[in-house]
Amino acid sequence: MKKPLFLTVSMNPTLQKTLVFSNIYTDTVNRTNEYRMDTAGKGLSVCRVLSQLGRNSCHLTQLGGSLRPLFLDLCKQDKIKVKWVKNTSDIRLCYTLINKCDNSVTELVEVPEKVDITTEGRLLDAFSSLVQKCTTLIISGTKAPGFSDALIPEMVRQGQIAGCRTILDIHGKDLVNSLPFKPDIIKPNLFEFVSTFMPRLVLKNGLPDKSEIKEIVESVWVKLYDQFDCALILTHGADSIWYSDEDKLFEFVIKPVEPINTTGSGDAFTAGLASALEDGASLVNAIEAGARCGAINASLLRPGVTSIDEK
């Protein structure tokens, strides 16, 4: 029997700068002495939380550019095991602006640079070796430009052959192309699920009220479940979670918290979910564990954590 090992994969490494302001004004200079820099990217945040939960975990990604040493040093400080392959493009920077005046959280996201043509082969070679050792495979987020549409489905295929519990926090073409390999759980948020499978329902300002689309979402899910036989979890920020491991949607109500920084809460949820499932929890109990981790993250300044020591 394999020793439990959680392998998280993301192909969009990020350095996240969090800045806190008493208020933010447009068309002028805003200064703050409250800020921090952290490694990010959805899979990296999942790995950090798994590590904080005491799990044996490893993160696979691609890294390049002048910021690579900083990225790796921050991972070392967090005691995150990172397997990386060389790439020529720079690591992107993203910014979280927290406005204490109205408790708003604003994300400024850089579009990643295109990876060179040889990166995919190196990444897949590293993955093929690591996946043989893991018990849970978690693939999260979007991939950087330059990676082919075949990469993530191939990883899912290999994960299923290796006997890993496979959890996908992806959407769009990557999710659609991965479903034929029957991942165990898909976990897009509600907007990502609707935009992937029911794009006609997407409005200019988001989605219609949840109550208006639940029946449609459920009907689409029934068809997907009949074809691919996987479990579904749909998060929607601080709103209730829809989930199913059969052909009917159920609702899990989240306990409200006073948020400070919601960035990374979905990744903390994924880590808590995966950790609980490894311990034999039912899907609903694992969702409860994930929701606890997500709530802790939202109540802290640092993104992608689930430790009260991270304030």
Tokens of 29: 């200079």
Predicted local distance difference test score (pLDDT) of residue 1: 60
pLDDT digits (tens, 9 = 90+) for 175-229: 999 999 999 999 999 999 999 999 999 987 788 888 889 999 999 999 999 999 9
Report the length, in residues, of the chain.
311
Predicted local distance difference test score (pLDDT) of residue 204: 77
- Residue linked to tokens 């990883």: 155
Predicted local distance difference test score (pLDDT) of residue 24: 96
List the chain domain ranges.
6-22+32-304
Q: Which of 180, 258, 255, 189 is nearest to 217 (CA)?
A: 189
Q: Which helix (H) or strand (E) holds 7?
A: strand 6-9
Categorize the per-residue pLDDT at 247 as very low, low, confident or very high, splitting at 50, 70 and 90. confident
Q: Are 152 and 178 in contact (CB under 8 A)?
A: yes
Categorize the per-residue pLDDT at 308 as very low, low, confident or very high, splitting at 50, 70 and 90. low
For 109, phi then psi, to 5°, come to -120, 125
3-state secondary structure of 202: coil
Predicted local distance difference test score (pLDDT) of residue 75: 97
Fold of 6-22+32-304: UDP-N-acetylmuramoyl-L-alanine:D-glutamate ligase (3.40.1190)
Average pLDDT value for residue range 84-107: 95
Average pLDDT value for residue range 102-128: 96
Mean pLDDT computed over every residue of the chain: 94
Q: Which of 1, 143, 4, 118 is nearest to 60 (CA)?
A: 143
Distance, in Å, from the CA atom of 19 to the CA atom of 142, rounded to the nearest integer, reads 24
Predicted local distance difference test score (pLDDT) of residue 209: 85
249 Cβ contact list (under 8 Å, min separation 6): 214, 217, 218, 221, 232, 242, 243
Whole-prediction pTM value? 0.95
Least confident stretch, 59-63, 196-200, 305-309: 305-309
